Amino acid sequence: AQSVTQPDIHITVSEGASLELRCNYSYGATPYLFWYVQSPGQGLQLLLKYFSGDTLVQGIKGFEAEFKRSQSSFNLRKPSVHWSDAAEYFCAVLAMEYGNKLVFGAGTILRVKS
């Protein structure tokens, strides 16, 4: 069955520091992977996605993610965090054979300290 694990429930980083949010997936076929961000009271906004090709994908707001098949990982990174990045981040895998449903991880809450 498809699943996504985000091992860190909370992460706190200082403004200007680098960030890496971890995501591991379990999926039988070639995965289509996504990172979404949810600010308080807001919906889910797509940061970036991986379908195929280059394993390093660039997204909005200066985020990038690297797909590593050997590690079943799709970690999200940002070289310098801004206070406005404080939000909850969700990794997801697409289960195409099940009506294109997205299977989400539990989320990681990012706090940014000044």
Partner 1 sequence: EPEVTQTPSHQVTQMGQEVILRCVPISNHLYFYWYRQILGQKVEFLVSFYNNEISEKSEIFDDQFSVERPDGSNFTLKIRSTKLEDSAMYFCASSELASGTDTQYFGPGTRLTVL
**Contact residues: partner 1, CB under 8 A:** 32, 34, 36, 41-46, 49, 51, 90, 92, 94, 96, 98-107
Smaller CB separation from partner 1, 63 or 90? 90
In whole angstroms, give the CA distance from residue 58 to residue 70.
20
Closest C-alpha among 30, 29, 8, 32 to residue 20: 8
Closest C-alpha among 73, 51, 55 to residue 64: 55
Smaller CB separation from partner 1, 40 or 70? 40
Smaller CB separation from partner 1, 28 or 43? 43
Look-up of token digits 């379990």: 26
